[in-house]
A and B are shown apart, each in its own frame.
Chain A
Amino acid sequence: MTLTPLPYRVVDRRDETHDTVTLVLEPAGEALGSFAPGQFAMLYAFGVGEVPVSVSRIPGERRITHTVRAVGAVTRALCGLRTGAWLGVRGPFGTCWDLAAARGRDLLVVAGGIGIAPLRPLIDAVLAEPHAYGRLNVLAGARTPGDALYRDEFPAWERPFAAVTVDRPSDDWTGRVGVVTTLLGEARFTPAGTTAFVCGPEVMIRATARALVHRGVRPDRIRVSLERNMRCATGHCGHCQLGPLLLCRDGPVVGYDRAEPLLTVREL
């Protein structure tokens, strides 16, 4: 881990949706340490600012991939980077999806919106070792069909179930409509033998985790990725504090058994 941004170059970019871009980054010289699924980097758009963004794919030792949604000045600048452009990168930061503890178990991957991005490296890791895990279920919710990320990859994720559901269907949408928890009824898993990985808006995380607990998944087997206002990413500035946790250091991935009491407090 380095506290000073290293120069990285955009070696590939892909427009995912009207406001979301995937960037493949390669270091100019020295590379950051290896990222694990669920960890994040601080991406610095020169002269604009720095934001935390999880890795959305880990294509080898030196390259990293991030999917960025343009929601403010920094992310707009990042989404505007073309192939060959430079940016600064710090990391890797934070906790990762604990796949080692999930070996041999059924897996539920539940994502809302761009929350599918931090989960994609986990799915990649599972598919690389399909016999090490039980059944893989990938459930994703999106605002509209046009906002659904990585849809072309979903057929490969059906081990045995992967689906997208949208809140606002277009006239030509023939898929599922409704919140992401409605897909739980179609997923194939044995609750007592399941580990769940959940990322998305916090209300969606709460609703999903409660539904899973109701179905018999143990809270400590539900891993959630939480987001707060991360600035330093090293646990010093305190901007990302959530109760006893500094989420840049103690998160973003935490067990629901720890997160649940914190998510129901109005202000911390």
Chain B
Amino acid sequence: MTAQPGGPAGEGVLAALPAEHRGRLMALARDTAFPGATRIFEEGEEADRFWIIRSGTVALDVHVPGRGPAVVETVGAGGLLGWSWLCPPRLWHLGAETREPVRAWEFEAAPVRDLCAHNPALGLALVTVVAETIGDRLRATRTRLLDLYEPRGAERSGTGP
């Protein structure tokens, strides 16, 4: 999306931060690339960093015994990969694997948390952005639980859905 016209791809989350805060956060960013089919993190491991995806897609999964990883969601360009670093116990709740080559901004969590502690305004702005992402995913999960696309036995083909 070009909600911020002229902004580079992958700024979806960053674009929500005021420019001053975004600059300070980006000073901690590292440009990172992952090949396709790369495991980025595993469920239960320490969540010590996060990423903002610039291009490509990452699948989030849960390991199901006897079945292997079951993908529950994908995160694409502009999306935040990982929020478990923010709150204790700071362990990944899901696993993550690239679906295709991915470029991302990588942030180590500890320096970001220190930055937030020393700059409460920045901290509030960042936490608000992360909370918005978590809220979006919660709403999306609830919507999927409704199983909206399943016909309910009535004549529903109507004028659309």
Identify the A interface with B (CB < 8 A). 19, 40, 49, 51-54, 68-75, 94, 112-115, 117-118, 141-143, 147, 165, 167, 169, 173-179, 181-191, 199-204, 207, 215-216, 225-228, 230, 247, 251-252
Q: When chains A and B are docked, how far (Å) is the Cα of A204 from the Cα of B75?
A: 19
Query: For residue B77, which residues in chain A have a CB less than 8 angstroms away from its CB?
Result: 185-186
CB-based contact A227/B143 at 8 Å: no
Classify the secondary structure of B's interface with A: loop
User: Does B73 touch A at the CB level, under 8 Å?
Assistant: yes
In the assembled complex, B95 has its CB within 8 A of some CB on chain A: no
Stretch at the interface among B22-30, B111-119, B151-159: B151-159
With A178-B74, A185-B1 known as contacts, the answer to whether A71 contacts B152 (CB < 8 A) is yes
Q: Which of B136, B148, B152 has the most CB of A within 10 A?
A: B148
Q: Would you list the 10 A-B pairs with minimal beta carbon distance, nearest first?
A: A71-B151, A113-B149, A143-B149, A72-B155, A201-B148, A252-B159, A227-B158, A185-B78, A179-B140, A40-B159
Q: Which residues of B contact A (CB under 8 A)?
A: 1-3, 5, 12, 57, 59, 71-79, 99, 136, 139-140, 143-144, 146-161
Q: Are A177 and B59 interface neighbours, CB within 8 A?
A: yes
Closest A residue, CB atoms, query B72: A177
Among candidates B57, B79, B147, B157, residue contacting A51 with C-beta atoms closer than 8 Å: B157
The reply to whether A167 and B158 contact each other, CB–CB distance below 8 Å, is no
Taking the nearest CB of chain A, how far is it from the CB of B105, in angstroms? Answer: 15
**Known contacts A177-B74, A204-B148: A182-B140 contact under CB 8 Å:** yes
A230 touches B159 (CB 8 A): yes
Are B78 and A186 neighbours in the complex by a CB distance under 8 Å?
A: yes
Q: Select one of A142, A201, A216, A251 contacting B3, CB under 8 A.
A: A216
- Distance between Cα atoms of A92 and B49 in the complex (Å): 57
Please indicate the chain B residues that have their CB under 8 angstroms from the CB of A167 in the complex: 144, 147, 149
Q: Do the beta carbons of B2 and A227 come within 8 Å of each other? A: no
Docked pose: A204 CA to B143 CA in angstroms: 8
